[in-house]
Structures are given as C-alpha cells and as structure tokens.
Amino acid sequence: MEYFNSFTKSDITAISSVVIAFLALFLTIWQGLVVKKHNRLSLQPILRFASEVAVSKKGLVFSISNHGVGPAIISSLYYVVKGKRYEIVNINSFSELRVNLGLTDFDFSLLGHPKIKNAVIPAGENTIIFKFANLDGTDLTDSELNKTIVHSLPKFGVDYTCTYGKKYSQEWSWEPVENLV
C-alpha cells in the first residue's frame, strides 16, 4: 500500500494515459474484427438451383439463382450418377451428361452455359446452366420425352466461393411428381 502512496500526480496521470491507450487499441482491434465479420456475412452469396419442368410441356430448364447479396464464383458444378461424380467444366461436358444419363437414343439437344468453372453469378441474378430442347433449339414439347428426361435426372451440386474466398456448397435432386409432366 505504501508503494501506491509514493506515486505523484504526474505518475498517476502517466499510468492512466497508458491504460487508456491500451484500452483504445484493444477496442479498435475488436471493432475491426467485428466489421470484417459483418462484411463477410453481408456479402455472402446464397445459391439455389431452380428448375422449370415440363409444366407447360416446354421441357426442362435448369438454372442457378443467387439469392444472396454478394457475387458467387463457381468453383465446380457436378452431377452424380451411380455413385460416381462427374464435373461439368464446359459445353463439351453436356454431351457426357447425355451419355451418362442414358439418353443417347432420343432426338433432342442439350443447350448449355459455355463456361461453368469460374463463372460469376451476381447477386440477385439467375443463370441458365442447361436446357433440354428440340434439335432446332425450340422448346421440347414431347411430353413422353420430357417425362423420360425428368426421371433420368441425377443429383446435381455446385461448389462456390464468395469474394472473401469462403467456400460453400449446394446440392439439388429432382423428386418427380407424376402430374407435373
């Protein structure tokens, strides 16, 4: 106790200044971390698969929508057939999809996004990944073919990152409902 009695007013002022400076430094660092976390969360993309399936006999359109507030950078788009994962990298991957689904005996075309990997889906936007269509590119109106396609669809997945590099993943699989096709 006698030790503290030997402090002069200038010693107390100096110690108080150092304590206040350390508290200010701590609060500044803490606030910076909170702001960084807030920025990451506020720019988080939220991808959802969307499909328009033969309700109006127009075939199947498969798209990805970004419901978040930040852009999504696609790192991979894939599908799973019989437990094996196949990555859709570019437009050539759609011919492989058709073969892997067992749909090579049917006359239709598979129109697709030309470059999937590293594609950016802006916030609030929708990107068509692929569309089943007639050979001339018109809507596929054959209801039996639409039904065959819908029942052959595998599980799809997308891996993507936000602008901060945080990784996310989303999967989709079709549960057919008979009266929709």
More confident residue, 174 or 12: 12
pLDDT at 59 over 70: no
Q: Are residues 160 and 90 in the same domain?
A: yes
Q: Are residues 57 and 30 in the same domain?
A: no
Q: Are residues 100 and 33 in the same domain?
A: no
Domain span at 174 = 47-180
Task: Give the 3-state secondary structure of residue 125.
Answer: coil
CA angle in degrees (0–180, nearest 5) for 77-179-149 = 35
pLDDT at 62 over 60: yes
Indicate the number of domains in the chain. Answer: 2
At residue 89, the pLDDT reads 84
Q: What does the pLDDT look like over 90-134, one tens digit per residue?
A: 878 888 888 888 888 888 888 887 788 888 999 999 888 888 888
At residue 174, the pLDDT reads 73
Q: Are residues 70 and 97 in the same domain?
A: yes
Q: Are residues 101 and 35 in the same domain?
A: no
* Sign of the torsion formed by the C-alpha atoms of 109, 114, 120 and 122: negative
Q: Are residues 93 and 122 in the same domain?
A: yes
